[in-house]
């Protein structure tokens, strides 16, 4: 069996259960087809006031970390916010290389282009093996300055680049000069045993949602770029029009305190459910209890929560960014421009007013994580075969 070293900074952790679920699912499914070890690398910031990331929940992951269905090795590398940005790929590779050498992989598979994909690339070069880099969304779409230059360097050096949507594939080719023949689209799947249509009435009783509520659910990180301010503004308008409109915010993030203040300022706190970050089984319950899911992000790759909502038979209001158009159409939701509160408000009102065929929506999508693993393995096998067939210098 092929030996694959997966490198990533994102996996579900106790303090952020929604982080990196798609990578967990991919690694777990890939482990059925190959010998896989996942190298979970995290930045270690100094324990000083103010020296913490503002873009994600920072926490330490110990050596006792375990993840269902995966062989995981955790470690940290030293970093400073902003100051070491150009060095993080090198620092991560320095920590990764001896660990990967002990595992003796045939190929490195790095998720998140920079710094983690770049670290995987440098380690692959040190070991004389090929490297595949997986791009997920913001690691290509939200890049500028030094980050953009290092992202381009990682893409230039990789034997193959995997993107989660055709839209992202085109973006990588146009904006980062990726060679088309080396860029492969591997669309995310979903856990068919978890995300499926369920009894809405029973779930509402379980979760404390009233039978007549028009429930909008958001699932994801609490950060501004997910359109959180637009969502609160749109909800406020709808809730004042209709006393039955409610909102569930499932997740956590660095914007949590601001978000709570925004909700409080609306005077509608009693109509907002805040269950926190939840494991997939409970996320599926909230989606099924809702009338619609919304994801008003400013940018996306191929958002898994939208796939999961469709799999549960729920219509989605999403922004027309990234691969969203590859998931949604008039039969399962509405697309709107990003950063447009008025459009978001109107789209949510339309979706809540329409009768949707839950089973028809759910029947539209069937791709599993096993399918993702098969496609990912093909890319890894191809670069390994190409490297082995190349003449030695």
Same domain for 224 and 345: yes
> Residues 44-71: what's their mean pLDDT?
74
Long-range Cβ contacts of 355-363 (<8 Å, 24+ apart): 356/313, 356/314, 356/315, 358/197, 358/313, 358/314, 359/197, 359/313, 360/313, 360/331, 361/310, 361/313, 361/314, 361/315, 361/331, 361/332, 362/196, 362/197, 362/310, 362/311, 362/312, 362/313
Does the pLDDT value for residue 57 go beyond 70?
no
**Starting from the edge strand earliest in sequence, which strands make up the sheet with 160-163, in order?**
72-78, 35-44, 3-8, 107-111, 131-135, 160-163, 183-185
Same domain for 306 and 248: yes
Exposure on the CB side of residue 45, measured as CA atoms within 13 A: 18
Same domain for 229 and 168: no
Ranked by mean pLDDT, the top range of 41-45, 77-81, 371-375 is 371-375
Per the domain annotation, does 88 fall within a domain? yes
**DSSP assignment, residue 391?**
P
Per the domain annotation, does 71 fall within a domain? yes
Does the pLDDT value for residue 53 go beyond 60?
no
Same domain for 154 and 263: no
> Residues 243-270: what's their mean pLDDT?
93
What per-residue confidence (pLDDT) applies to 51? 57
Per the domain annotation, does 318 fall within a domain? yes
Q: Percentage of residues in the chain with pLDDT exceeding 70?
A: 96
> Residues 9-16: what's their mean pLDDT?
86
Same domain for 161 and 245: no
What per-residue confidence (pLDDT) applies to 20? 86
Does the pLDDT value for residue 368 go beyond 90?
yes
Q: Where does 163-214 have alpha helices with state H?
A: 166-176, 200-207
Per the domain annotation, does 229 fall within a domain? yes
The C-alpha atoms of residue 45 and residue 43 are separated, in whole angstroms, by 6
Per the domain annotation, does 195 fall within a domain? no
Does the pLDDT value for residue 48 go beyond 80?
no
Same domain for 147 and 113: yes
Cβ atoms 101, 127 nearer than 8 A? yes
Say if strands 214-221 and 245-252 run parallel, antiparallel, or are unpaired.
parallel
Per the domain annotation, does 194 fall within a domain? no
Same domain for 320 and 270: yes
Same domain for 155 and 127: yes
> Residues 270-286: what's their mean pLDDT?
95
Same domain for 285 and 185: no
The C-alpha atoms of residue 96 and residue 39 are separated, in whole angstroms, by 8
What per-residue confidence (pLDDT) applies to 52? 58
The CATH code of the domain that includes 101 is 3.40.50.2000
What per-residue confidence (pLDDT) applies to 145? 83
Q: Is 333 exposed, middle or buried (0-12, 13-18, 19+ CB in 10 A)?
A: buried
Instruction: Read off the pLDDT of residues 118-154 as tens digits, 9 standing for 90 and up.
Output: 999 999 999 999 999 999 888 887 777 888 999 999 9
Cβ atoms 19, 25 nearer than 8 A? no
Per the domain annotation, does 286 fall within a domain? yes
The C-alpha atoms of residue 248 and residue 27 are separated, in whole angstroms, by 30
The C-alpha atoms of residue 280 and residue 18 are separated, in whole angstroms, by 8
Does the pLDDT value for residue 250 go beyond 70?
yes
Does the pLDDT value for residue 351 go beyond 80?
yes
The C-alpha atoms of residue 28 and residue 57 are separated, in whole angstroms, by 24
Print the domain residue range for 75: 3-189+369-389
Same domain for 37 and 168: yes
What per-residue confidence (pLDDT) applies to 14? 81
Closest CA to 161 of 114, 128, 123: 114
Per the domain annotation, does 326 fall within a domain? yes
Structural domains of the chain, count: 2
Same domain for 220 and 185: no
Mean pLDDT, rounded, of the chain: 93
Same domain for 211 and 133: no
| Paired tokens of 170 | 């085109």
The C-alpha atoms of residue 217 and residue 293 are separated, in whole angstroms, by 5
């Amino acid at each position: 069996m092929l030996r694959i070293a997966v490198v990533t900074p994102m996996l579900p952790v106790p303090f952020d259960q929604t982080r990196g679920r798609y990578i967990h699912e991919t690694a777990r499914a890939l482990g059925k087809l190959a010998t896989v070890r996942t190298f979970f690398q995290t930045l270690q910031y100094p324990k000083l006031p103010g020296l913490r990331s503002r873009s994600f929940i920072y926490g330490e992951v110990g050596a006792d970390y375990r993840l269902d269905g995966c062989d995981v090795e955790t470690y940290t590398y030293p970093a400073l916010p902003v100051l070491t940005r150009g060095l993080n790929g090198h620092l991560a590779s320095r920590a990764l290389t001896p660990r990967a050498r002990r595992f003796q992989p045939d190929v490195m598979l790095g998720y998140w282009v920079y710094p983690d994909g770049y670290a995987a690339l440098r380690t692959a070069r040190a070991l004389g093996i090929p490297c595949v880099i997986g791009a997920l969304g913001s690691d290509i779409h939200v890049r500028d300055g030094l980050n953009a230059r290092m992202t381009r360097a990682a893409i230039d050096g990789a034997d193959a680049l995997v993107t989660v949507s055709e839209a992202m594939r085109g973006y990588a080719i146009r904006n980062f000069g990726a060679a088309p023949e080396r860029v492969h689209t591997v669309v995310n799947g979903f856990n068919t045993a978890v995300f499926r249509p369920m009894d809405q009435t029973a779930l509402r009783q379980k979760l404390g949602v009233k039978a007549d509520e028009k429930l909008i659910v958001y699932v994801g990180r609490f950060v501004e770029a997910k359109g959180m301010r637009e969502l609160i503004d749109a909800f406020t308008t709808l809730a004042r029009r209709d006393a039955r409109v409610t909102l569930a915010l499932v997740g956590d993030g660095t914007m949590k305190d601001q978000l709570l203040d925004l909700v409080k300022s609306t005077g509608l706190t009693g109509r907002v459910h805040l269950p926190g970050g939840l494991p997939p089984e409970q996320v599926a319950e909230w989606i099924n209890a809702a009338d619609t899911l919304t994801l008003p992000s400013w940018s996306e790759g191929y958002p898994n929560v939208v796939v999961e909502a469709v799999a549960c038979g729920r219509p989605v209001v999403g922004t027309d960014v990234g691969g969203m158009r590859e998931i949604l159409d008039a039969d399962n939701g509405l697309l709107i421009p990003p950063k447009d509160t008025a459009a978001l408000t109107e789209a949510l009102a339309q979706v809540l007013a329409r009768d949707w065929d839950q089973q028809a929506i759910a029947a539209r999508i069937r791709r599993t994580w096993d399918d993702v693993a098969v496609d990912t393995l093909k890319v890894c096998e191809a670069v390994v075969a190409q490297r082995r067939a190349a003449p030695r210098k």
